[in-house]
Amino acid sequence: MYIRKATRNYKGKLYTNHLLVESIHTSKGPRQKVICSLGDLSPRPREAWLKLAHKMEAALGGQTELFEVDQEVGSLLERARKQNHRPRRRDGTTPHTKNLDWVTVETERVEIEDPREAGPVHVGYTFWRRLGFDEILAKVGFNQKTRTLSCAMVLNRLVCPRSEHAMPEWIRRTALDDILSVEFKTLTGTALYRNLDRLHPERERIESALCERERTLFNLDQTIYLYDLTSTYFEGQALANPKAKHGYSRDKRPDCKQVVVGLVVNRDGFPQAHEVFEGNRGRIELR
């Protein structure tokens, strides 16, 4: 619905009237139907007319307001309902409802199937694009599949961190397949582990390009850097990982092998680079 202004000159005096109009489709093409007359709305700013039309459309459709409707809108709605009243036919229908098929819905029996979370991943994907992450990975030489899996993994770390083993189930509970236009029904943790193996050798090029993009996008200060160490341990013998060794455990698990992770951030807290060291490394030198 929208509001249309109509004027009439009567005995040398100009009268203004505003009409609430609905655009409908007919066999002869679109037509405009006047729902009701609203009188002269000139005292109200023009930018408020569309908002008023939306409120009246919702109210006339049966939607109730969460908060109390102001007196002016209430009086206009009452006028619209009176002008929009139609006499009933003998069969109990009105001219407005004669050709409509009505369906009764029992709200208590409505069930939701396959609900998926869209908001957080949509926001995350927006920043993925603003950072130019896909272009960075493409320049490194990764194909579309690798870039798509990398996007899904990054969004998981941002929204709801999970292991690569648990990540596919989380991905299927989100709207990522619609956002990325990819089917994730058959995705397994193995594919994500292999994707990490592809990313790791190119981490320096990816981090350098990303740092430069962040610097120009957020106008970051590059004069001060902070360096910190953390560690992560493994359940098991970790025989295939030559860097997994016993050492000082920040997790209070000296019985487990671990690796030491060094992270460089700027004064704004943006990561600049990282390196993984052997778990028994006691001294770290910056290069």
DSSP per-residue letters across 129-184: HHTTHHHHHHHHT--HHHHHHHHHHHHHHHHS---TTTHHHHHHTBTHHHHHT---
Residues 231 and 158 in one domain: no
Residues 167 and 196 in one domain: yes
Number of structural domains, the chain? 3
Last residue of a domain, one of 203, 234, 255: 203
User: Is pTM, for the whole model, over 0.85?
Assistant: no
Residues 251 and 195 in one domain: no
Query: Is 287 contained in some domain?
Result: no
Check residue 75 and give its pLDDT. Answer: 72
Tell me the β-bridge partners of 15: 8
Query: Is 7 contained in some domain?
Result: yes
Last residue of a domain, one of 203, 238, 254: 203
Residue 136 phi/psi, 5° resolution? Answer: -60, -45
Position with higher pLDDT, 42 vs 137: 137
Beta strands in the chain (DSSP E): 2-10, 13-26, 29-39, 225-233, 258-266, 271-278
User: Is residue 89 over pLDDT 80?
Assistant: no
Query: Is 271 contained in some domain?
Result: yes
Residues 155 and 127 in one domain: yes
Check residue 132 and give its pLDDT. Answer: 93
Query: Is 286 contained in some domain?
Result: no
Residues 124 and 164 in one domain: yes
* Cα–Cα distance measured from residue 230 to residue 251, given in angstroms and rounded to the nearest whole number: 9
The stretch 90-106 carries a mean pLDDT of: 55
Check residue 87 and give its pLDDT. Answer: 45
For residues 18 and 38, is the Cβ–Cβ distance under 8 A?
A: yes
Q: Which domain holds residue 7?
A: 2-83
Check residue 140 and give its pLDDT. Answer: 93
Query: Is 257 contained in some domain?
Result: yes
User: Is residue 54 over pLDDT 80?
Assistant: no
For residues 274 and 207, is the Cβ–Cβ distance under 8 A?
A: yes
* Cα–Cα distance measured from residue 53 to residue 76, given in angstroms and rounded to the nearest whole number: 11
